[in-house]
Amino acid sequence: MNISDSSSEDPRQLVIETVAKLPHLPGVYRYFDAQDQVLYVGKARDLKKRVSSYFLKTVSSPRIAMMVEKIVRLETTITRSEAEALILENNLIKALKPRYNILFRDDKSYPYLKITSEKTPRMMYYRGAIDKKHQYFGPFPSGWAVKESMQILQKVFLLRSCEDSVFANRTRPCLLYQINRCSAPCVNLIASDDYQNDVTNAADFLRGRQLDVIQALEKKMTALATDLKFEQAAAVRNQMSALSKVLHQQSMETAGDIDIDIIAVIVEGGRACVNLAMIRGGRHLGDRAYFPTHVDHVQLTAEDSIEVEVLSAFLAQHYVDQFIPSTLVINVELDAPDLMLALAEQCGHRIHLSFQPQEQRRIWLEMAIKGCRLALARMLSEQGSQQARTRALVTALELDVPDIEQLRVECFDISHTQGEATQASCVVFHHHAMQSSEYRRFNIKDITPGDDYAAMRQVLFRRYEKFADPGLSNEQVMPDIVLIDGGKGQVEVARQIFVELGLDTSLIVGVAKGEGRKVGLETLVFVDGRAEKELGKESAALMLIAQIRDEAHRFAITGMRAKRDKARQASQLEDIEGIGPKRRQRLLSRFGGLKGVSDASVEDLASVEGISRQLAEEIYKRLR
């Protein structure tokens, strides 16, 4: 159902009339403001009752009342059940990011430890969609947790972790073999069957079957000793000893072959924290803290607390496209049968909620609660410090910003190597923090190499030309400050571009480097008649400006180096007579990149299709 604006009728009245006509059915509703921006997405068992509650004379929160005043359009979608409505609601929340919903940041996917299904399986760090072809273990709460598990598998089971291109072209064992971290299947120093047994034991270890693994190794050691194969028996004994040592060093006691998520919710100081700890195969893999936004916009029902609303939002948004273990241990009593039914339908198995756990699970939950409190206290402390820095910047630059939370700064920098691979960066500071998802790089073309002024002119025109045409900028936000890394020359270029586009030149602030390029000695340059400013090294505002400027420089230089190295990698091979696109691709694919080609012997190079012995010798000579 879609209620559109009408020039002949009051939009607000249209919304009221539509609410009266809503059916008593489950579904999802969406509120929009006069700019057609989504304000809120909600689900309901009974659309009419739920939506009508927003338009009563009194609502539970001043912020909700403020939202209701902004509603000029309403959309609804009928669903077959409340469970179906919940899935649709959270898909829409993730896609639309409404201002008045509790929002959890959509992090990158969780990492896994992957064991491939090749003839000689490899273990590797993996992030992305999983399939049935290979074995995946996790998910893990962090990349560090994956790498720690990989180190265990290297110490105990000596599994390979090298790239396939490296593995296929080894002629002697690598350093990992020398330090007893790999059994060197690449050069057949371990029998194929023995390596497969190690892979099986490693997989069982990751599934929490540590006792089964030790028993299997003990049985194998006894059999080898009986057959008088004492050296092989000693190797298995060493493997058992390493495994026992690892299990002894585990800081978290294992609790059988189980997968559990431990979830703690704490709300203090107007902010909420959700701490998620992951138990996989009975091993505690670590935890991760989440800080939802818009918590103060929640409209509570009579029977629910803010903790319940935050927990419900987390379960729905986090698990809508993630692995769901069969047991969730929580610190808040939650009665949400429709939510659990929807999640169970999605994952294909029943989900048990436990909020009064015993024994080891109680210890895990207490740890998660403690971690949650510490993370929230740290965040609140940092938030206060960040807000103070932002306020100092607004004061120092004499800005008229009604809400410092919304202060937006964009900073530009140019980077190149003696004119080669010129790139410009644009980084964004907003909501008291750097917003890496909004960073942009610009390839600079058709200028004289090394002309920084021309490069700055090009990037500023490309970034802000859309604001000269209001029809093109309806989804763009003009910053409150445009920082230019440079002095009067760069600032003058920026002024010319803003005048050409009809934009407010008072937004431009240049950051001229001080003597010795030391932080704290910078001078701020303006174009609107204000005198230059030296805030001094004790200024919180200057420290924030320096942080933003340095981030723009870092982002520009890393992009430039990647662009330069890519161009040089291609050109080094292209410069060799007889190496065309196909042969270059074969070489890079076989050896995993230019470094692998450089390290290859003449014999290895000549083994590549299309590479003669003479050409291999020329490649070897040129890349040395």
**Could you tell me the fold of the domain covering 407-563?**
Nucleotidyltransferase; domain 5 (3.30.420)
User: Does the pLDDT at position 302 exceed 50?
Assistant: no
On the question of pLDDT at 452 being above 70, the answer is: yes
Q: What is the DSSP string of 174-231?
A: -HHHHTTS---GGGTSS-HHHHHHHHHHHHHHHTT-HHHHHHHHHHHHHHHHHTT-HH
Higher confidence at residue 402 or residue 563? Answer: 402
Beta bridge partners of 508: 482
Query: How far apart (Å, rounded) are the C-alpha atoms in residues 453 and 90?
Result: 47
Across the range 394-413, mean pLDDT stands at 85
pLDDT of residue 250: 46
CA 318/CA 507 separation, integer angstroms: 39
**Residue 58 pLDDT greater than 70, yes or no:** no
Rounded mean pLDDT of the chain? 80
Residue 607 has a pLDDT of 86
Inform me whether the pLDDT recorded for 494 exceeds 80. yes
pLDDT at 304 over 70: no
- Which H helix or E strand runs over 525? strand 523-526
pLDDT for res 560? 62
Q: Which among 308, 353, 363 is positioned nearest to 332, based on CA atoms?
A: 308
- Exposure pattern of 569-586 as b/e (b: 16+ CB <10 Å)? beebbeeeeebeeebbee
Which residue(s) pair with 470 in the sheet?
A: none
List pLDDT tens digits, range 101-147: 888 765 556 788 899 988 999 999 888 777 788 888 877 877 777 88
| Residues 6 or more apart in contact with residue 322 via CB below 8 angstroms | 110, 139
Q: How far is the C-alpha of 209 from the C-alpha of 203, rounded, in Å?
A: 9
Give the residue from 529, 428, 405 showing the smallest Cα distance to 478: 428
Q: What is the mean pLDDT of residues 344-348?
A: 79
CATH 3.90.1150.10 fits 260-376, yes or no: no
Over range 508-535, report the average pLDDT: 80
pLDDT of residue 298: 57
Q: What is the torsional sign of CA 341, 347, 350, 351?
A: negative
The dihedral through the CA atoms of 93, 99, 103, 107 has a sign that is positive
In the predicted model, is pLDDT for residue 251 greater than 50?
no
Given a cut of 50, whether residue 466 has pLDDT beyond it is: yes
Q: Is it true that 11-96 and 575-622 share their CATH fold?
A: no
Q: According to the model, what pLDDT value does residue 328 have?
A: 92
Lowest mean pLDDT among 132-136, 238-242, 483-487: 238-242
Q: Could you tell me the pLDDT band of residue 253, with boundaries at 50, 70 and 90?
A: very low
What are the sequence ranges of the domains in the chain? 11-96, 111-249, 260-376, 407-563, 575-622
Q: Are 273 and 372 in contact (CB under 8 A)?
A: yes
- The pLDDT score that the predictor gives to residue 254 is 46
User: Lowest-pLDDT range, 438-442, 518-522, 609-613?
Assistant: 518-522
Judged against a pLDDT cut of 60, whether residue 159 lies above it is answered with yes
Which carries the bigger pLDDT value, residue 347 or residue 292?
292
Give pLDDT, residue 248: 46
pTM of the model: 0.57
Q: Is 6 exposed, middle or buried (0-12, 13-18, 19+ CB in 10 A)?
A: exposed
Q: What was the pLDDT predicted at 7?
A: 43
Percent of the chain with pLDDT over 90: 8
Instruction: Provide mean pLDDT across the span 51-79.
Output: 79
Preceding amide of 470 cis, omega within 30: no
3-state secondary structure of 510: strand
Adjacent-strand bridge partners of 302: none
> Angle at which helices 337-347 and 306-319 pack, to 10 degrees?
10
Tokens read off for 446:
């058709």
3-class SS shares of the chain: helix, strand, coil, % to 5: 50, 20, 35
Place 265 in a pLDDT band, splitting at 50, 70 and 90.
very high
| Tokens found for residue 23 | 């059916």
Q: Which pLDDT does position 620 carry in this prediction?
A: 82
Could you tell me the pLDDT band of residue 518, with boundaries at 50, 70 and 90? low
Give pLDDT, residue 475.
Answer: 55
User: Among the CATH numbers 1.10.240.10, 3.20.20.140, 1.10.150.20, 1.20.1730.10, which is that of 575-622?
Assistant: 1.10.150.20
CATH superfamily of 11-96: GIY-YIG endonuclease (3.40.1440.10)
Q: Is the pLDDT of residue 428 over 60?
A: yes
Please say whether the beta carbons of 299 and 64 come within 8 A.
Answer: yes
Cα separation, 92 vs 317, in Å, equals 10
pLDDT tens readout for residues 181-203: 898 999 988 889 889 988 988 88
pLDDT at 107: 55
Residue 509 has pLDDT above 50, yes or no: yes
The residues pairing with 408 across neighbouring beta strands, listed in sequence order, are 430
Of 25-29, 225-229, 251-255, minimum mean pLDDT range = 251-255
Is 570 strand, coil or helix?
Answer: helix
The reported pLDDT for the residue numbered 2 is 53
